[in-house]
Amino acid sequence: MAILEVQGLKVMRGGRTILHDINARIAPGCVTALIGPNGSGKSTLMAAMAGMLPPAQGRVMLNGTDLAKRSRRDLARELSFLPQQLLAPDGLTLRELLVQGRFPRRGWLKAWTPRDEEAVTRAVALCDLSGLMDRRLDSLSGGQLQRGWIAMTLAQDTPVILLDEPTTFLDIASQLSLLDLLANLRKDGRTIITILHDLNQTAQYADQLILMRDGHVAAQGPTSEVFTAQTIGQVFSVGARMLPDPVTGRQICLPASLPPAPSSSADQMQSDG
Amino acid sequence: MADLRHIPAFLALALGLAIAGLFHLRLGASPLSWAEVWGAVTAWQPENPAHNIVIEMRLPRLLSALTVGAALGLAGALMQGLTGNPLAEPGLLGINSGAAFFVVTGLLLVPGSTLSMLPWLAIAGAICAALCVVLNAGRAVGSARLILAGVMTGALFSALTIGILILDQQGIETLRRWLTGSLAFESAGMRQMVTPFILLAAVIAVANIPALNLFRLGDQAAGLMGLNVARFRLTLLLAIVLLAGASVATAGPIGFVGLVAPHLARLIFGTDYRLLLPAATLIGAGLLVLGDILARLAVRPLELNTGIVTAIIGAPVFIFLVVRRVK
């Protein structure tokens, strides 16, 4: 049983086909990660899963109903999405930002309810922001701001959470605490779909993987089955070796460039499609 | 309950507005004493000429200044919220010029036109100009292109207005003052005609306060949070053209009040639209009352146009804002 299901999805942007005939099923209560090289269509697929991009063909089903048939407000109560680049407005405090996460739940000028307050308080605690609530956004560091956006997304309190590269701007300790947060949210029964840069972090925290390449799904399934030297090597055009972690025994991927392959640092400069 | 601490500031604003209003009644071509103003307001005697100046001439003008200033301040706050651009206001974006062009064209060229058509003409012109700006501004939030599109639209409609007036010598005489924004005519009837439009716009504005607050995060994030962005834009645009049309119908195109009032409001109250909308409305009303006092005092016993005074004061503020943004 899939909570989110992508059926024959084709997405065009500026006359170019970005996603070709994507079929994917997201299991409820799991962390699913989209991985693939830059420009493979991960972010586009995630935006389409959130109903932000109209499909040229196919559809995205959330709990058995087509996303395109729902109002934005209705959708925002069941699914939250944090895209990669959001502008931080001037003059807002962190608290004012988090309060906006309750917008989908609030009626026309309806007063702030204890439930709203509770959702915000929980998001603040989860993202470790309690001392910063009255700070202005422009006075926060990149990592604090990123945690602020994540907290706003969590304040939305939805069963399905989509996070596009949430670990960007975070130092390694914050990255790990965010990943633990994802694990906690899963324990809480939420369905999480995310894009992470680091392959080994992805493999450690994701239950399911969807591997993308050139706008196609190259492989999908449980991490234990698809996180192999062969699939990683094919999807990323690298040579990959797998080693067991000396402590946990978990598989760790060591990528190595193939002799004629372009350098990966030049690849990083491209924006992710 | 964080809002309670803003009550003193609002009281101070209201008090300032009341004081400015009293000065407006007292000062003018013939200065009156406070006793005469007070007597006229509290115990009006129609046979007393000083009382007549206050009640028959200055009070209607004060009410028009308050109404138009409030409409412009609110319109400016809404436009800045809608576009994410701190320079947006009905004057700079050409909305006032569009409204003025339609009024001039309608009054001079359409046979049998009456004064009661004026608000409708002004609103139609505001809609036309707003469409011109929106269609040319592109989608980027806070972009300079929006201002360019507005300035272009304003220049186009001003040029067309002047073109029509040059063909109609009589029209120049009657509309000369009105076209630079003036409160010097009998505007009580017009004020009553446009009040429903302003009230409708105010209701739209209040209903959109949560959405305006959300929209500070940009249209993408607002859409993600479930805001129907297209409907939000359309209803706000409607409120803006109603306000701009109503103010132009009453007093002609008056610039810069819509720019300065929201900025002052933001300096005092921050960016929360629950505070910003009422504050910009009050400050807009106050600014226009002050501007109108100056207009009548500067070259006494003649008077300047109120629109000229607001431009002389507002232009440096505009330049200051641009320089601060570029820096």
Q: How far is CA B245 from CA B20, B81, B159, in A?
A: 25, 19, 19
- The pLDDT assigned to A98 comes to 92
Would you state the structure tokens that stand for residue A21, as one six-digit string? 């005939």
Q: Confidence class of residue A271 from pLDDT cuts 50, 70 and 90?
A: very low
> Percentage of chain B surpassing pLDDT 90?
42
What SS3 class is residue B301?
Answer: coil
Provide the pLDDT confidence category of residue A270 given band limits of 50, 70 and 90. Answer: very low
Say how far apart CA B158 and CA B153 lie, in whole Å. 9
Q: Which residue has the tokens 């060591």?
A: A254
Q: Residues 6 or more apart from A100 whose CB is under 8 A from it?
A: A152, B213, B214, B217, B221, B225
Contact B213 A96 (CB under 8 A): yes
Q: Is residue B190 part of a domain?
A: yes
Q: Which CATH number does the domain A1-78+159-227 belong to among 3.40.50.300, 3.40.50.10710, 3.90.180.10, 3.55.50.30?
A: 3.40.50.300
User: Contact B209/A89, CB-based, under 8 Å?
Assistant: no
A148 CB neighbours in chain B (<8 A) are: none
Q: pLDDT grade, residue B1 (50/70/90)?
A: very low
Name the minimum distance, in Å, from the CA of B143 to any CA of chain A: 14
Question: Is B218 in a helix, a strand, or coil?
Answer: coil
In percent, the amount of chain A with pLDDT more than 70 equals 93
Asked if the model's pLDDT at residue A29 lies above 70, the reply is yes
Q: Supply the mean pLDDT for chain B.
A: 87
Give residue-wise pLDDT tens across range B136-181.
Answer: 877 665 567 888 888 999 999 999 998 888 887 777 777 777 887 8
3-state DSSP assignment of residue A180: helix
For residue A103, give the nearest of A77, A84, A129 by alpha carbon.
Answer: A77
Are A71 and B224 an interchain contact pair (Cβ–Cβ within 8 Å)?
no
CB B40 within 8 A of CB B54: yes
The pLDDT value recorded for residue B187 is 76
Residue B200: pLDDT band by 50, 70, 90 thresholds?
very high
Q: How far apart are CA A166 and CA A156, in angstroms?
A: 16
What is the percent of chain A with per-residue pLDDT over 90, rounded to a whole number? 51
pLDDT value at B306 more than 80 = yes
Kindly state the average pLDDT of the residues B205-218.
Answer: 92
CA distance B321 to chain A (A): 15
Number of neighbouring beta carbons within 10 Å of residue A237:
16
Q: Provide the H-helix boundaries in chain B.
A: 7-26, 34-42, 49-52, 59-83, 95-109, 118-137, 144-167, 169-179, 188-207, 209-215, 219-224, 229-251, 257-269, 273-297, 306-326
Going by pLDDT thresholds of 50, 70 and 90, the confidence category of residue A268 is very low
Say whether the ipTM exceeds 0.85.
no
Amino acid B140: pLDDT: 61
Q: Is the pLDDT of residue B21 over 90?
A: yes
* Residue B97 scores a pLDDT above 60: yes
Tokens 């992470």 sit on residue: A196
pLDDT at residue A261 is higher than 70? no
Q: Nearest-CA distance from A191 to chain B in Å?
A: 18
Provide, as residue numbers in chain A, all residues whose Cβ is less than 8 Å from the Cβ of B220.
52, 83, 86
Q: In the prediction, which pLDDT does B41 show?
A: 83
Number of domains in chain B: 1
- Is residue B198 situated within a structural domain? yes
Point out the residue among B141, B218, B226 whose CB comes nearest to the CB of A103. Answer: B226
Residue B50: count other Cβ atoms within 10 Å of its Cβ.
Answer: 16
| Band (B85; pLDDT cuts 50, 70, 90) | confident
Q: Which residue has the tokens 């607001």?
A: B310
Radius of gyration of chain A (CA): 19
Averaged pLDDT for residues A201-209 = 92
For residue A212, pLDDT over 90 is answered with yes
Q: What is the pLDDT of residues A97-156, one digit of tens each?
A: 999 999 998 866 667 888 899 999 999 988 889 889 999 998 988 888 888 999 999 999
Q: What pLDDT, on the 0 to 100 scale, is given for residue B141? A: 55
pTM, two decimals, is 0.86
Q: Nearest chain B residue to A101 by CA: give it.
A: B225
- B249 three-state secondary structure: helix
pLDDT value at A87 more than 80: no
Q: Do A106 and B217 touch (CB under 8 A)?
A: no
> Nearest Cα to B321, choosing from B272, B266, B268?
B266
**Beta partners for A238?**
A257
Q: Would B173 be classed as within a structural domain? A: yes
What is the CB neighbour count within 10 angstroms for residue B233? Answer: 16
What DSSP designation does B57 have?
A: I
**B37 occurs within a structural domain:** no
- Are A89 and B266 an interchain contact pair (Cβ–Cβ within 8 Å)? no
Please determine, for residue A269, whether its predicted confidence score (pLDDT) is greater than 50: no
Q: What is the longest distance spanned by two Cα atoms in chain B?
A: 65
pLDDT at position A260 is 60
Q: Quick check: A120 and A102 in contact, CB under 8 A?
A: yes
Which residues in chain B are contacts of A86 at CB distance < 8 A?
217-218, 220-221
Number of A/B CB contacts below 8 angstroms equals 65
Task: Among A144-153, A180-189, B105-114, name the one with the lowest average pLDDT.
Answer: B105-114
Domain range for B94: 64-326
- Contact yes or no for A86 and B221 at CB 8 A: yes
Average pLDDT over residues B21-28: 89
**Contact (CB, 8 A) for B105 and B232:** no
Whole-angstrom distance, CA of residue A58 vs CA of residue B140 = 29
The model's confidence at residue A9, banded by pLDDT at 50, 70 and 90, is very high
Contact A23, A217 (CB under 8 A): yes
Looking at residues A78-102, what average pLDDT do you find? 88
The H or E element spanning position A28 is none
Residue B219: inside a domain: yes
- Rounded average pLDDT over A81-110: 84
Closest CA of chain A from B282, distance in Å: 22
CATH of the domain at B302: 1.10.3470.10
**Domain boundary assignment for chain A:** 1-78+159-227, 83-157
